[in-house]
Amino acid sequence: MNALHLPLWAEGLVAALLIIGAAFVLIGSWALVKFSHFFNRLHGPSKASTLGVGCVLLAAALVSFWQGQASGRELLILLFLFITAPVSAHVLVKAALRLRPDERPQPPGPESNR
Amino acid sequence: MKLLPVLLPWILLVLAVAMALAGWRLLRGPTLPDRILALDALYIDALALLVVLGLYSSSGVHFELMLLIGLLGFIGTVALGKMLMRGDLVE
């Protein structure tokens, strides 16, 4: 255990970030099981899980900052994840539309707002 | 204050449950993009699990492993998606 020498408020902040991050990761995976169609299921891992991993990485960055070993490597990995998650979601949507073109939703017309 | 040593095993448990849910979707399907999406969620969850494990153990956070999992997961997801789109990887 290498996070022992934190002040109390820092430990509380890290614990809150870890709890929020784990909750978001769990909600994203639950959405993957719960939703009914592929385009609904895509929302869970590509948004909620990415935010959860971001919170966990931020907590690790705070721990290494208070231990005097701040290097920004966690933040670089966080930046890489936040850049690549939309790209992989876009590729998956294009692959799913290519496999089943009949499942493409109708584009919103002028009468769909009423 | 010993808040984190009590909390971290529960965080590990929650992340393991999330990985099990993604693994259920990976086995269940029903379509190929669903399975690739489950693999995508699995590598993201594995990254979070590795970070928490690095906080929990005394060996520190493994940056090289995290970078490797992130890079290979992204490249694998994009390669499998392109494979479904084109039917071929290199044209």
Residue A109 lies in a domain: no
CB burial of A30-68 (b: ≥16 within 10 Å; e: otherwise) equals: bbbeeeeebbebbebbbbbbbbbbbbbbbbbbbbbebee
- In terms of pLDDT, which residue wins out, B27 or B6? B27
For residue B2, give both structure tokens: 């010993």
CB-closest option in A18, A22, A60 to B54: A60
Q: Which residues of A touch B47 (CB under 8 A)?
A: 53, 77, 81
Position A17 pLDDT exceeds 70 = yes
Kindly list the residues from chain A whose CB atom is less than 8 angstroms away from the CB atom of residue B36: 92, 95
The pLDDT, as a whole number, for residue A1 is 47
Task: Report CB contact under 8 Å: B21, A30.
Answer: yes
Would residue A114 count as lying in a domain?
no
Q: Which residues of A touch B22 (CB under 8 A)?
A: 29, 32, 45
pTM score? 0.84
Q: Cα angle vertex B72, ends A34, A56, to 5°?
A: 60
> What are the tens digits of pLDDT across the range B29-86?
788 888 999 999 999 999 999 988 888 886 766 788 888 999 999 999 999 888 888 7
ipTM score for this prediction: 0.85
Residue A5 within any structural domain of the chain: no
Distance separating alpha carbons of residues B83 and A79, to the nearest angstrom:
26
**Is position A67 within any domain?**
yes
| CA atoms of B15 and B35, how far apart (whole Å) | 19
- Please judge whether A21 and B48 are an interchain contact, meaning their C-beta atoms are less than 8 angstroms apart: yes
Q: Which residues contact B13 (CB under 8 A, 6 or more apart)?
A: none
* Confidence class for position A111, pLDDT limits 50, 70, 90: low
Task: Answer yes or no: is A111 within a domain.
Answer: no
Q: What is the DSSP letter of A102?
A: G
The domain tally of chain A equals 1
Residue A6: helix, strand or coil by DSSP? coil
Report d(CA A3, CA A59) in Å as an integer.
Answer: 11
Domain that holds residue A79: 11-101
Number of CB pairs, chain A paired with chain B, less than 8 A apart: 164
| A60 contacts: CB under 8 Å, gap ≥ 6 | A74, B51, B54, B55, B61
Banded pLDDT at A51 (limits 50, 70, 90): very high
The yes-or-no verdict on residue A94 having pLDDT over 50 is yes
Residue to mutate among A8, A25, A73, with most B CBs inside 10 A, is A25
Q: Across residues A61-73, what is the average pLDDT?
A: 81
- Structural domain contains residue A63: yes
Does A17 fall in a domain?
yes
CA atoms A99, A102, A107, A113: torsion sign: negative
pLDDT at A114: 46
| A86 lies in some domain | yes
| B11 neighbors A18 (Cβ within 8 angstroms) | yes
